Amino acid sequence: MKHFTKKQINEMDKIYRLNLINSCTGYKSSNLIATVSDKGVNNIAIFSSITHLGSDPAMLGFILRPKTVPRDTYVNIKYKKKFSVNHIHYSQIKDAHHTSAKYASEISEFEKTELMEEYKHGKALPFVKNAPVQIECKYLNEYEIKENGTLLIVASVENIFVNKNMLLEDGMIQLDKGGVTAINGLDCYTLPKKLERFPYARPKK
C-alpha cells in the first residue's frame, strides 16, 4: 500500500492534497441545498457533507466552509431560517456540479443550469424539481469548529417528500431505486447499488 505521512501531506501540492484528503474518507452524500435571499433570489449549491444527526427529534447537519469569502447559502439560511435539501438524481449531476461555480448573489443558479424550482403547498421555499428525495429544514443552531474555522449547521427536519417507489414498508428509503448519486472526493460522481440489508445485530450466543 502507498503510505503518506503527516509531513508528506503537509508538503503536498495543494490540488493533490485536496483530492487525497477529500476522497480518503469514503463516499459522501450528494445534495443540493436551495435557499432564498432577502431580495427573493433563489440560490442553489451542491454539498457533500450533509449527515443524519438524530431521528427523535429528526435533525440533520452539514459543514459550511470558513466565511472568508461570501457564502450565499449561509446568509440566506440565517435570514429565512429555512432551506431545502435535495438528493441528486444521476441525470442531474452535470448541472448540480455547476452550482459550485461562484456567481454573484443576485444571480440564481437555477437560471444558469437546467435545474428547475418546485414549490410545496404555496411556500416560497424552492425545492429542486425531480429530485428523488426533498427535505424541508429549519435552522436551529451552528457550532464553530475552531480547528479549521468551519461551521456545523444544525437543522430540524420539517417535511420529507420522497418518490413512492423508493419507500419500503418499514420506512426505509432505498436510494438506489431512485437513482440517487454519491460523491467520491471533490468532483467524482458515483451511483451506489444495494448489496444486502441485514437485521438488527445482536451479540452472538
Q: What is the CATH number of the domain that holds 173?
A: 2.30.110.10
Average pLDDT, stretch 79-99? 97
Domain contains 67: yes
Task: Decide: helix, strand or coil at residue 173.
Answer: strand
> Three cell numbers at 111?
437560471
Domain contains 60: yes
Domain contains 22: no
The total domain count for the chain is 1
Average pLDDT, stretch 87-94? 98
Domain that holds residue 103: 27-190
Domain contains 2: no
Domain contains 167: yes
Residue 157 vs residues 10, 57, 83: alpha-carbon distances, Å: 38, 8, 10
Domain contains 76: yes
Alpha-carbon gap, residue 134 to 199, rounded angstroms: 27
Domain contains 103: yes
Give the model confidence (pLDDT) of 7-36 as tens digits: 999 999 999 999 999 999 999 999 999 999
Smallest CA-to-CA distance from 36 within 113, 142, 136 is with 136
Whole-number mean pLDDT of the chain?
A: 95
Q: Whole-structure pTM over 0.85, yes or no? A: yes
Backbone angles phi, psi at 15, to 5 degrees: -65, -40
